[in-house]
Amino acid sequence: MNLLTQRFPTLLGLVLLFAGIAGGVWFLRSERSAVNPEFIPQKVRISNTADNKFSVSWITSGKATGSVVWGKVGDALSTKVADERDSATAPDSYTTHQVTVTGLQPSTQYAFRITSNSATYDNNGSPYTVTTGPTITTTPLAKSFYGTVQNPGGGSVGDALVYLALPNAQVASVLVHAPGSYTIPLSTIRTTDLSSYVAFDPSATIATVTVETGSQTSTATVSLANSTPVPVITMGQNPDFRAAAAIPNVAVVEPATPSATPASTSSGQVPGIFNVQPLGSTPPSAGSVTLSNPASDGETIATTQPEFRGTGPSAAVLSITVHSVTPYSGTVTVANNGTWTWTPPANLAPGSHTVTINYIDAQGVAQTLERTFTVSKVEAAAGDPAFVSTPSASTTAIYPSPTPVGSPIVESTAGGRVAMPATGSGVPVTGIVEPTVLTGAIGFAIMVAGAFLLAL
């Protein structure tokens, strides 16, 4: 029998065609569902950007291996860099991940994708991008920011990321080392536009320290005067260490006995300074801080550089952080009329963001106010109003009760592809090649078979 001379019913040909399509769809979905959600990168952040390097960090809810493939924008992403803790031949699994790409050229745009276990993730279908800064010829004086992190029971934290945010500066990050210690060089942190090293007052600048593990987030507010070392940060707590800031070295006095000081550190050692208020300082008056723009969670704004504003006790100092792939932080003092405003130093990328405000109330309790919002690319281009006014929310106490701070970045929280890492944040998506190629081949074969059957 010559099959080429036989005619097949049209109905049979259509059945075979639809069966092939359904099989291909089922196969593609089954392959995607094989990606374990515990290994999806969350809170993707870019930090430590200089003229010749940048760091990428993220967390996963389960332990996974991690690496980055990178290249110049427009070139193939073929160079692989492993986690900072891994050797070239023995990758390990962690819930926190940081990869530092080095040997780069100044003022050049690079692209990268994240590999978690065997799956590849990117930013909503496109690679993540980062631009290195220019070369700075001056060498600043060395100064460090360091401390330790511990678990609620007192045990050391070995698998954690520490992020340091200073006003008008890019975020610096470092992995915690045993036994729970971290050190971040302050002198080489650059401004948000990367053009120079950030300037700060060692006795007055307020910093925000965020510690991330795979299951907990803690955020501490500290003065640089009290950062050598920073008081011990306990996971699950969000302390404000500004009240314990050290006074300048010209008047440092060691207490005669431990009982001569009102409080001690968690290690049992008492601070070697007196806890005094700076001359001319005025404690915050009673009242809470409000945020009127954005006024409600999830509000859509039509500008990439919004003005955050609200009310609060006169002279209160607010520490403000916008969490996204590139977080921005700053401090502002409430004016005599009880109002405050603050604008991020650079444009925010379109997408979801979270703004967090930390301050100390009249009772000395650390408070936080957090609000999510979305930057609309379309509305920003149209020039619509930046915010729509709605009733403001109230603050809630965060110390000592644990209240995680920071926005998810995958869905890049791989919480939902939103915006530490805060995360315009992107949402990592899988980039498995085999199902795509196989599905394309099946589709092509089905088209050829269908055309052949219908031609008979």
pLDDT in tens, 48-67: 999 999 999 999 989 999 99
Q: Which CATH number covers residue 160?
A: 2.60.40.10
| Lowest model confidence (mean pLDDT) among 34-43, 182-191, 205-214, 399-408 | 399-408
Residue 360 lies in a domain: yes
Q: How confident is the model at residue 273 (pLDDT cuts 50, 70, 90)?
A: very low
Which residues in 182-217 are b (16+ Cβ under 10 Å) and which e?
Answer: bebbbebbbbbebeebbebeeeebbbbbbbbbbebb
**Is residue 331 assigned to a domain?**
yes
Residue 222 CA to residue 205 CA, distance in Å, equals 9
Q: 303 and 377, same structural domain?
A: yes
pTM for the complete prediction?
0.54
Distances (CA, A) of 109 to 45, 51, 102, 130, 133: 17, 11, 13, 6, 9
| 3-state secondary structure string across the chain | CCHHHCCCCHHHHHHHHHHHHHHHHHHHHHHHHCCCHHHCCEEEEEECCCCCCEEEEEEEEEEECEEEEEEECCCCCCEEEECCCCCCCCCCCEEEEEEEECCCCCCCEEEEEEEECCEEECECCECEEEECCCCCCCCCCCCEEEEEEECCCCCECCCCEEEEECECECCEEEECECCCEEEEECCCCEECCCCCECCCCCCCCEEEEEEECCCCEEEEEEEHHHCCCEEEEECCCCCECHHHCCCCHHHCCCCCCHHHCCCCCCCCCCCCCCCCCCCCCCCCCCCCCEEEECCCCCEEECCCCCCEEEECCCCCEEEEEEECCCCEEEEEECCCCCEEEECCCCCCCCEEEEEEEEEECCCCCEEEEEEEEEECHHHHHHCCCCCCCCCCCCCEECCCCCCCCCCCCCCCCCCCCCCCCCCCCCCCCECCHHHHHHHHHHHHHHHHHHHHHHHC
Return mean pLDDT, the chain: 75
Domain finish residue from 90, 110, 135: 135
Residue 393 domain-assigned (yes or no): yes
d(CA 164, CA 177): 16
When mean pLDDT is compared over 259-263, 270-274, 353-357, 416-420, the highest value belongs to 353-357
Residue 331 or 426, more confident? 331
Q: Are residues 168 and 149 in the same domain?
A: yes
For residues 244 and 173, state if they share a domain: yes
Q: 19 and 44 share a domain?
A: no
Domain-ending residue, one of 96, 118, 135 = 135
Whether the link from the prior residue into 391 is cis, omega within 30° of 0, is no
Retrieve residue 191's tokens.
Answer: 């401004």
- Confidence at residue 195, expressed as pLDDT on a 0 to 100 scale: 93
* pLDDT, mean of residues 392-421: 34
Same domain, 349 and 374: yes
Sign of the CA dihedral with 225 first, then 201, 55, and 327 last: positive
Q: Is the peptide bond before 306 cis (omega within 30 degrees of 0)?
A: no
Residues 352, 310 share a domain: yes
> Is there a single domain that holds both residue 27 and residue 51?
no
Q: Which of 135, 167, 194 is the last residue of a domain?
A: 135
Query: d(Cα 83, Cα 101) in Å, to the nearest integer?
Result: 10
pLDDT on residue 88: 64
The number of distinct structural domains making up the chain is: 4
Enumerate residues 6+ apart whose C-beta is below 8 A from 95.
Answer: 59, 60, 61, 62, 63, 64, 159, 213, 214, 215
Residue 170 CB burial class (10 angstroms; 0-12, 13-18, ≥19) = buried
79 and 154: one domain? Answer: no
Percent share of the chain, pLDDT over 70: 68
Q: Is residue 197 part of a domain?
A: yes
Q: What pLDDT, in 10s, does the model give residues 160-199?
A: 999 999 999 999 999 998 788 999 999 899 999 999 999 8
Report yes or no on 235 lying in a domain. Answer: yes
Cα–Cα distances in Å, from 267 out to 108, 150, 178? 46, 11, 16
More confident residue, 280 or 14: 14
pLDDT of 305 > 50? The answer is yes
91 and 182: one domain? Answer: no
204 and 127 share one domain: no
pLDDT of residue 257: 38
In sequence order, the β-bridge partners of residue 57 are 45, 98
The Cα–Cα gap between 114 and 412 comes to 11
Same domain, 12 and 101: no
Whether residues 177 and 107 share a domain: the answer is: no
Residue 98 covered by a domain: yes
**N-terminal to C-terminal alpha carbon distance within the chain:** 15
41 upstream amide cis, omega within 30 of 0: no
Contact 340, 332 (CB under 8 A): yes
Residue 421 lies in a domain: no
Of residues 241 and 286, the one with the higher pLDDT is 241
- The domain of 70 spans 37-135
- 367 domain residue, yes or no: yes
